[in-house]
Amino acid sequence: MPIWNIRLLETIEEMSAVEDLQREVWPGSETDIVPDHLLITAIHNGGLVLGAFVDEKLIGFVFGFPGLEFTPDGPRPKHCSHIAGVYAEHRDSGVGFALKRAQWQIVRHQGLDHVTWTYDPLLSRNARLNIARLGAVCSTYRRSEYGDMRDGLNAGLPSDRFQVDWWINTKRVERRLSKRARPTLSLNHLMRVGVHPLYSLQTGPDNLPRPPEHVPSLEAQLIAAEIPSDFMALKSADFALARDWRFFTREFFETAFAKGYIVTDFVFDKGKNSPRSFYVLTDGESTLEG
């Protein structure tokens, strides 16, 4: 059983605790912190701040607010989930999923059916949560979305981001968030349905994966595109190589989205020797197991 509890945050003291958590997760740049006065203003105007607690200590949060998207039929409301963070010692415990599930429940009660947020497409842990576990999809790539960021996680690289779409009333999302969630997909699952990696990654003497020199031809209905399984470790070991990966994936996903592909799944395969991470992209409306 989870050792945390989740509740809505409503006081300025709770917002100050959220500020402190942000400083731990994204150290080094005070200007990138969402301040308590903005958080409290947002929740007084339809926004949500949810916190996860262990023994009354805040260990994780998610913050979002209502927004508008512009469609051919005019503007329609949505929820923009702006930022979420969990203390390092509680990551991979399920608390991030639990926070998003609570957000899903509340936003549905507000009468909205669409939630959007951004994340770095090279971060495998985030992709596993957002795409594989929550059932979000993506067909929008935003170059340098936040300009030059100065915090310890993002400094030095263009702040390219996926903007994901979370259609929270669909069967796809409801299945992912049910108590009987689907089994975790592996590379073998992909290959059994005829989906093979689009390219092979080569490693150098340092054993770090190199991106392909060119974007390969995109023809199949379902394709699997590999990214480094631990991009932050790669970035720490070889910053120039991290930049190469940023620019390769920028070109790859912009090309794929322009051709009508949608990111519909993500596979983290532990493998025999080392883990491997793959985005699954679909040409059209087909999905892999929903």
Query: How confident is the model over 206-254, as pLDDT tens digits?
Result: 999 999 999 999 999 999 999 999 999 999 999 999 999 999 999 999 9
Residue with the larger pLDDT of the pair 159 and 153 = 159
Give Cβ neighbours of residue 163 (< 8 Å, ≥ 6 apart): 116, 117, 118, 138, 140, 141, 142, 145
Length, in residues, of the chain: 290
Lookup result for tokens 């912009």: 254
Give me the residues paired with residue 6 across strands: 52
Number of Cβ atoms within 10 Å of the Cβ of 24: 11
User: What tokens were used for 235?
Assistant: 């970035």
Give the end-to-end CA distance of the chain in Å, rounded to a whole number. 27
Predicted local distance difference test score (pLDDT) of residue 288 = 44
Q: Could you give the CA distance from residue 243 to residue 260 in angstroms, rounded to a whole number?
A: 26
- Paired tokens of 82: 């702006």
Q: Residue 286: which pLDDT band, with cuts at 50, 70 and 90?
A: low
**Domains along the chain with CATH numbers:** 5-177 (3.40.630.30), 187-283 (no CATH)
Q: Which residue type does 240 have?
A: A
* 289, pLDDT greater than 60: no
Q: Quick one: pLDDT at residue 273?
A: 81
What does the pLDDT read at residue 61?
A: 98
Q: Are strands 161-167 and 114-119 parallel, antiparallel or unpaired?
A: antiparallel
Distance, in Å, from the CA atom of 63 to the CA atom of 65, rounded to the nearest integer, reads 7
Lookup: tokens for 94: 């399920």
- In this prediction, residue 38 carries a pLDDT of 97
pLDDT for residue 172 is more than 70:
yes
DSSP code at position 73: T
Band (pLDDT 50/70/90 cuts) for residue 181 is confident
Helix (H, G, I), strand (E, B) or coil at 9: coil
- Over the stretch 156-170, which tens digit does the pLDDT of each residue have? 799 999 999 999 999
Tell me the C-alpha distance between 136 and 225, whole Å. Answer: 17
pLDDT at res. 285: 58
**What pLDDT, in 10s, does the model give residues 40-83?**
999 999 999 999 999 999 999 999 999 999 999 999 999 999 99
Q: Taking the CB of residue 72, how many other CB atoms lie within 10 A of it?
A: 4
* Helix, strand, coil percentages in the chain from 3-state DSSP, rounded to 5: 30, 30, 40
Q: Is 31 or 62 the better-scoring residue by pLDDT?
A: 62
Could you tell me which residues come within 8 angstroms of residue 7 by beta carbon, excluding any fewer than 6 positions away? 50, 51, 53
Please report which confidence band the pLDDT of residue 182 belongs to, taking 50, 70 and 90 as the band edges.
Answer: confident
